[in-house]
Structures are given as structure tokens and as C-alpha cells.
Amino acid sequence: MMKAETSSHPILSYADSVAANMSDSLLLVGRILIASVFVLTAWGGSPNVEYITALGLSNPEFWSALAVTVEWIIRATLVLGVATRYGAILAFLYVVIATVLAHRYWQYPAAQQTVQYIFGTKNFSILGGILTLFIVGPGRRSFDSIFARRS
């Protein structure tokens, strides 16, 4: 369990207490929520060969297979809490690459620019969550924690 810092105001101390007492469970929920982005993307059929072809990449079959494989690794590391920080690094790199390749909103027709802009800015928020997870680690409800206790 993480130790809560003293709050700047007594009224806020309740939130500090909840965060301190539930940090491991909340980190598990946070890991699952971040991983859900990769689950829901794959569930929607992306990144498929047609989409990657539309982005103008050569050898789309290879890139699609690689992207799907990387997404599976990210999901497993985050949900199970196995090599979580490495999964967070991989997720961070993956989202940066996906944002740069797929969400260049200024290259889309005017009717699609707003949606692509929203997708791009959403990815910045995801990067923030991934970065936070990298810093604080997976919490005690993870295989990383179990393995660390055995050593």
C-alpha cells in the first residue's frame, strides 16, 4: 500500500485516505481500463490490413500482424501485471507511433478532421495514464508483486 501524502486542506484528507487504502485495487482497475483501449480497438477490427493500406504503409500484412501481436502483449502485461513497466513502455511507444501514423488530422478531409483531432488528443490522455502507470508500478494486485515477494 502506498503512503498518502498529507493533504493541503483537511476536507481533502478523506480523498487522500481513500487513495491510500485502495491504491492497489485502484491500480488494478486503472491497468484494466488502460488495457481496454487496446482490447476495444482490436475488437473493432483495427489495425487491419485495409486500414494500414489506407495509411499508405508498404507491406500492410506485416504491420497489421505486428500491431495485433503488440496489442496482445500490452493487454497481457497490463491486465495481469506481468512485466508491467515494460508493458507500459511498449504501450507508450505503440500509442506514439499510432498517433503519428494514423491521426494526422490535417491530412484528412474537412468532415473527418475533428474526429481525427479528438482521436489524437485522446491518445495524449492515454499516454498520460501509461506514463503514470510506468512511474507508480502495478501495485500489489499483480504478478510482478507476487514474484517480487518470492525473491
pLDDT digits 0-9 by tens, 76-95 = 999 999 999 999 999 999 99
- The top-scoring range by mean pLDDT among 16-20, 24-28, 39-43 is 24-28
Query: Half-sphere exposure of residue 105, counting CA atoms within 13 Å on the CB side?
Result: 14
Distances (CA, A) of 2 to 49, 131, 138: 44, 18, 12
Q: Which residues contact 108 (CB under 8 A, 6 or more apart)?
A: 116
pLDDT digits 0-9 by tens, 86-127 = 999 999 999 999 999 888 877 888 888 888 888 889 999 999
What proportions of the chain, in percent to the nearest 5, are helix, strand and coil?
80, 0, 20
Nearest to 55 by CA among 64, 42, 65: 64
pTM of the model: 0.85
pLDDT digits 0-9 by tens, 44-65 = 777 889 989 988 999 999 999 9
* Cβ 94 vs Cβ 72: under 8 Å: no
The residue with greater pLDDT, 134 or 9, is: 134
